[in-house]
C-alpha cells in the first residue's frame, strides 16, 4: 500500500489540473480519488505531491498519462450478463420500433462495453441501423477502444460472461487471434463514433434512445452525480433509457422525477418527463 | 477499561475468505440485542454470482444484512456486505462508496481496502476482525486499524479452517486479541 496523502494536497492537485487544463476533479468521490493519486505517485515515481504538481503543470504529455491513471478503466465485456439479457429481452425490442437507434456510451473507457453492445445489436439484426457515440475523458483509452485489440488473457472472462449472457455463438466469432491479442471484428464498429468528452463539463450534444454509463457515477460525489444525471436526462428522448451500474442508483439525484424505474434489478431507468 | 468495551466503538469491519462463512453466520446469529453500531462485512465471493449469498446470510442473522448501494448512508444496527465484483469503501461523512478499480491481492472486494478506508474514517473507534481465509488479504488493512488505534481481532488459527489469512495478519501486526468464534461472540455480547 502506498503512502497516505492528506486532503489538502489533493485539493492542490485538483487546483493545478483545473488551472492548467480545465479538467475539474473537484467533485470526484474523495476516497477513490485519493487512492488513485496515491497510486499515481508510485506509478510515476514522484517523491511527493509538489513534484507531481510541477510535472502536471509543465508537461502536457505527462498530463495525458496522469489522466489515464487517475480515472478507473477496469472494464469487461458483458459484465453482469443478466443486464445484457435484460437489454436484449426488454429494452432493445422497445427501441427497435424506431427507424434509427441512437446509443451513447458515456465514459466508455477502453471500449469493452461498446463491443458488447455491437455484438448484441448484431445478433438482434439491429446493428446496421444503430448509431453509437462512445465518449471518454481520456484520448488514450479512446485509441484503445478504436483499435479494439485486447490481451487474449482477458478474453477468458469476457467469454464466460458472454456464455452466461447466452449469446448466439461464441465470443471468438467476433475476434481473430494474433500473437497473444484478440483483434475485434472491425465491422462491429462501422457505425461507432468515438470522441473525447468530459462529463464534468455537462454539455449535451445530442439526443439518444439509450445511454449506458455503468460504474462511472461511483467515482463522482453527489453534486456531480446530480449534474451528470441531469445531463443524461437532457440527452434522452422521452420514453428512452438510462442504464447505470448494478450497485449505482439515481434515486437520490435531483432529476429522479424525470425518470421511472424500468428494472430495479439491472438499474435501468426510463425517462418519462421532459 | 474501556478499550475492550464494544460501546467504545462506532463500527465493526469483518474480513473473511475461504472457510469463513460458517463463522460469519454464527457471529450474525448471536449478535447482542440493541446493537447500535454498523457491521461491515468484506468476504471474498464468486464474482459472477450476485445472488444467494446475502439470502444465506440473512437466514440466521439477528439483523438484516444488505449490500449497500453507492453513496448509501451507513446506519447503526445494520449489517452491510461488500457486493461482488466491487471494492467497498467507507467514505468521509459516513457513507459507502464503491469502486471497480483493479483487484488487490487477486481480490475484489478487497478486505485491505475496506479496512483501510474504514479506519481512515472511524480512526480509533473501529474494531477489525480477520477470519479464516486462504490468502493474505486483510493483513495490510488490519495493520492500518492498529496504527490508528482501533481494536484488532483475529480468529484463532488453531480453530480457523484455513489459517493463511489469520496467520498473515498476525505476522504483519501485533494483534490485540486472538479469539475463537465463541470468544468473538462473547466479546461482542459483553
Q: State whether residue B66 sits within 8 Å of chain A by CB.
A: no
Backbone angles phi, psi at B153, to 5 degrees: -130, 140
**Domain check: are A58 and A153 in the same one?**
no
What structural domains and CATH numbers belong to chain B?
Answer: 6-189 (3.40.50.180)
pLDDT of residue B48: 65
**CB atoms B100 and A32 under 8 Å:** no
Least confident of A44-48, A105-109, B153-157, B183-187: A44-48
Residue A218 within any structural domain of the chain: yes
- B contacts of A31 (beta carbons < 8 Å): 89-92, 97, 117, 120
The string of pLDDT tens digits covering residues B49-99 is: 667 889 999 999 999 999 999 999 999 999 999 999 999 999 989 999 999
Q: Are B177 and B151 in contact (CB under 8 A)?
A: yes
Clarify whether residues A93 and A205 are in a common domain.
yes
- Pick B140's closest partner by Cβ from A1, A29, A161: A1
Cα–Cα distances in Å, from B13 out to A240, B45, B114? 41, 16, 8
pTM: 0.93
Domain shared by A157 and A245, yes or no: yes
- Asked if the Cβ–Cβ distance from B70 to A249 is below 8 Å, we say yes
Tens digits of residue pLDDT in A74-110:
899 999 999 999 999 999 999 999 999 999 999 999 9
Residue B109 contacts A, CB cutoff 8 Å: no
Residue A1 pLDDT: 45
Q: Please tell me if residue B99 touches chain A, with a CB cutoff of 8 Å.
A: yes
B110 CB neighbours in chain A (<8 A) are: none
Query: pLDDT at position B43, please?
Result: 96
Query: ω before B109 within 30° of 0 (cis)?
Result: yes
Q: Kindly list the distances between the CA atom of residue B95 and the CA atoms of A154, B69, B112, B117, B121, in Å, as whole numbers in the listed order.
A: 33, 10, 18, 11, 10
CA distance A255 to A252: 9
- Do A246 and B120 count as a contact with CB atoms less than 8 A apart? no
Under an 8 A CB cutoff, do A1 and B85 touch?
no
Q: Which residue has the higher pLDDT, B45 or A273?
A: A273
B173 touches chain A (CB under 8 A): no
Give chain A positions within 8 Å (CB) of B123.
none
Residues A132 and A208 in one domain: yes
Whether A25 and A115 share a structural domain: no
Q: What is the pLDDT of residue B51?
A: 75
Report yes or no on A2 lying in a domain.
Answer: no
The domain boundary residue, chosen from A22, A50, A70 = A70
Residues of chain A with confidence (pLDDT) below 70 = 1-3
Contact between chains at B140 and A247 (C-beta distance less than 8 A): no
The secondary structure of A44-62 as a DSSP string is TT-SSHHHHHHHHHH-HHH
pLDDT value, residue B1: 46
What's the DSSP call for residue B89? E
Q: Reply yes or no on whether the pLDDT at B138 is more than 60.
A: yes
CB of B139 within 8 Å of a chain A CB? The answer is no
Are B174 and B146 in contact, with CB atoms under 8 Å apart?
yes
Note the pLDDT of residue A161. Answer: 96
Q: Are residues A229 and A114 in the same domain?
A: yes
Domain that holds residue A205: 81-271
Q: Pairing state of beta strands B65-66 and B79-81? A: parallel
Q: Are A247 and B83 in contact (CB under 8 A)?
A: yes
Give the cell for residue B97: 462508496
Q: Does B156 reach chain A within 8 Å, measured CB to CB?
A: no
Same domain, A186 and A118: yes
- The mean pLDDT of chain B is 94
Residue A98 pLDDT: 93
Q: Given B67, B101, B113, which is nearest A74 (Cβ)?
A: B101
Contacts of A217 in chain B (CB under 8 A): 70
Into how many domains does chain A fold? Answer: 2
pLDDT of residue B52: 82
Is A196 part of a structural domain of the chain? yes
> Which residue numbers of B are catalytic?
17, 44, 137
Considering the domain architecture, whether residues A105 and A193 belong to the same structural domain is answered as yes
Tell me the chain A residues in contact with residue B97 when contact means C-beta distances shorter than 8 Å: 29, 31-32, 218
- Among residues A70, A95, A124, the one where a domain terminates is A70
Q: Distance between the two ends of chain B, CA-based, in angstroms?
A: 13
Co-location of A27 and A137 in the same domain: no
- Is there a single domain that holds both residue A262 and residue A160? yes
- A264 and A137 inside one domain: yes
Read off the CATH number of the domain in which A134 is found. 3.40.50.150
Give yes or no: residues A253 and A196 share one domain. yes
The CA dihedral of A214, A17, B93, A268, to the nearest 10 degrees, is -10
Amino acid at each position: 500500500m502506498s503512502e497516505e496523502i492528506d486532503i489538502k494536497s489533493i485539493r492542490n492537485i485538483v487546483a493545478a489540473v483545473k488551472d492548467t487544463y480545465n479538467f475539474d476533479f473537484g467533485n470526484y468521490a474523495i476516497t477513490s480519488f485519493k487512492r488513485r493519486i496515491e497510486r499515481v505517485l508510485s506509478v510515476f515515481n514522484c517523491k511527493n505531491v509538489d513534484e507531481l504538481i510541477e510535472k502536471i503543470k509543465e508537461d502536457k504529455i505527462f498530463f495525458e498519462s496522469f489522466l489515464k491513471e487517475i480515472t478507473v478503466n477496469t472494464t469487461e465485456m458483458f459484465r453482469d450478463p443478466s443486464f445484457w439479457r435484460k437489454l436484449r429481452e426488454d429494452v432493445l425490442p422497445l427501441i427497435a420500433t424506431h427507424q434509427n437507434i441512437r446509443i451513447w456510451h458515456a465514459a466508455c473507457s477502453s471500449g469493452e462495453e461498446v463491443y458488447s453492445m455491437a455484438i448484441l445489436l448484431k445478433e438482434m439484426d439491429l446493428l446496421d441501423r444503430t448509431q453509437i457515440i462512445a465518449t471518454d475523458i481520456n484520448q488514450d483509452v479512446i485509441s484503445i477502444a478504436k483499435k479494439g485489440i485486447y490481451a487474449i488473457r482477458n478474453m477468458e472472462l469476457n467469454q464466460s460472461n458472454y456464455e452466461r449472457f447466452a449469446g448466439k455463438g461464441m465470443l471468438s466469432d467476433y475476434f481473430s487471434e494474433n500473437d497473444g491479442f484478440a483483434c475485434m471484428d472491425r465491422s462491429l464498429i462501422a457505425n461507432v463514433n468515438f470522441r473525447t468528452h468530459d462529463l464534468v463539463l455537462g454539455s449535451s450534444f445530442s439526443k439518444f434512445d439509450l445511454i449506458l454509463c455503468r460504474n462511472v457515477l461511483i467515482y463522482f460525489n453527489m453534486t456531480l452525480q446530480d449534474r451528470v444525471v441531469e445531463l443524461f436526462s437532457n440527452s434522452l428522448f422521452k420514453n428512452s433509457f438510462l442504464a447505470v451500474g448494478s450497485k449505482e442508483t439515481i434515486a437520490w439525484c435531483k432529476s429522479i422525477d424525470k425518470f421511472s424505474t424500468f428494472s430495479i434489478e439491472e438499474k435501468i431507468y426510463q425517462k418519462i418527463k421532459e | 477499561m474501556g478499550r475492550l468495551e464494544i460501546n467504545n466503538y462506532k463500527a465493526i469491519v469483518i474480513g473473511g475468505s475461504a472457510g469463513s462463512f460458517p463463522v460469519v453466520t454464527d457471529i450474525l446469529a448471536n449478535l447482542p440485542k440493541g446493537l447500535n453500531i454498523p457491521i461491515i462485512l468484506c468476504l471474498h465471493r464468486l464474482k459472477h454470482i450476485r445472488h444467494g449469498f446475502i439470502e444465506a446470510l440473512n437466514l440466521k442473522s439477528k439483523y438484516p444484512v444488505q449490500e449497500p448501494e453507492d453513496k448509501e448512508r451507513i446506519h447503526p444496527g445494520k449489517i452491510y456486505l461488500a457486493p461482488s465484483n466491487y471494492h467497498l469503501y467507507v467514505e468521509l461523512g459516513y457513507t459507502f462508496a464503491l469502486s471497480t478499480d483493479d483487484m488487490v491481492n487477486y481480490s475484489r472486494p478487497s478486505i485491505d481496502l475496506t479496512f483501510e478506508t474504514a479506519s481512515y474514517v472511524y480512526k480509533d473507534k473501529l474494531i477489525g476482525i480477520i477470519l479464516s481465509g486462504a490468502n493474505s488479504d486483510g493483513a495490510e488493512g488490519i495493520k492500518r486499524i492498529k496504527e490508528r488505534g482501533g481494536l484488532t481481532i483475529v480468529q484463532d488459527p488453531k480453530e480457523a479452517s484455513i489459517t493463511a489469512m489469520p496467520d498473515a495478519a498476525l505476522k504483519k501486526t501485533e494483534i490485540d486479541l486472538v479469539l475463537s468464534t465463541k470468544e468473538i461472540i462473547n466479546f461482542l455480547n459483553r
